[in-house]
Amino acid sequence: MTATTAAPLLEVSALDVSYPAKGFRAPPFRALRDVSIRIERGETLGLVGESGSGKSTLGKAILGLTPVASGTVRFDGRDITHLKGRARRALSRDIQVVFQDPYSSLNPAMTVEAILAEPLRAAGASGPDASKRIRALLDQVNMPAGSSARYPGEFSGGQRQRVAIARALALEPKLIVCDEPVSALDLSTQARVLDLFVDLQRQTGVAYLFVTHDLGVVRYVSHRVAVMYGGEIVESGDADRVTSTPAEPYTRKLLLASPVPDPVEQAERRRQYATLAGRAGP
């Protein structure tokens, strides 16, 4: 008997996204060019690149927030490339998102309980069931007792991001798109939130598309890494290899640009970065 291989949870094939030109008679801007990625169940794919590389556009295309010119997005074996309206909203049970800014992603006029109750009530949960689930979620993301009755403005940035993560987990999704989820946090808070992402994946089996500009972050949380430049995937592979011995010069530049605590090593990184970038350096 021939063994069968389960399909990836998410499979993006030859994806192109274009935006209308801003200038008169200028051609459309191709934000993504023939991009293909896959994410297995329970896996983290780190998507890394500098600002403007196309990584956030890819996340938006997966979430249905930007139109796709060509190519396909398949989730759990189903083509979701052009889903609209009710079909797209129904998919939110399985695909969720955590945004970059924990200060603007939560409604400041709503209590934490009301914020977390929204997706649960929309999914048909009763009041008592929603309250029980909210208590479990806040405990799962290590929020202090009494958090449900408080407002987002009463919490630190790290705590707000924990609430945002709890909201993303509310419906037990299979995939969470994490769009620079720690870049607005200080370094010590980043480490705690990254540990939370790792622990939650172990507990729930959720998969992540982890979008960031920091190779150090993706090394910590990812199983595999895809590197984007100019709307294309320029390198991909096992996280340890890509973040330690990358094959592409652009990936090496990203690695050298990542800060390290040792000032001597940091100075050497800056010298190597300047040499690789073709600039004179100390």
Q: Rounded to an integer, what distance in angstroms lies between the CA atom of residue 167 and that of residue 105? A: 11
- pLDDT tier, 280 (very low <50, low <70, confident <90, very high otherwise): very low
Per residue in 246-266, pLDDT (tens digit) is 999 999 888 877 655 445 554
Confidence tier at 159 by pLDDT (50, 70, 90): very high
Residue pLDDT, tens place only, 211-260: 999 888 899 999 999 999 999 999 999 999 999 899 999 998 888 776 55
CA atoms of 280 and 106, how far apart (whole Å): 45
The DSSP bridge pattern shows strands 224-229 and 207-212 to be unpaired
Distance CA 102, CA 17 (A): 27
Reported confidence tier of residue 165, pLDDT bands at 50, 70, 90: very high
| Residue type (1 letter), 181 | P
Query: Distance from CA of residue 233 to its chain's centroid?
Result: 16
**Residue type at position 142:** N
Distance CA 71, CA 80 (A): 11
Sign of the torsion formed by the C-alpha atoms of 140, 165, 12 and 88: positive
Backbone angles phi, psi at 100, to 5 degrees: -65, -45
Round to whole Å and give the CA distance between 137 and 152: 16
pLDDT of the residue at 1? 42
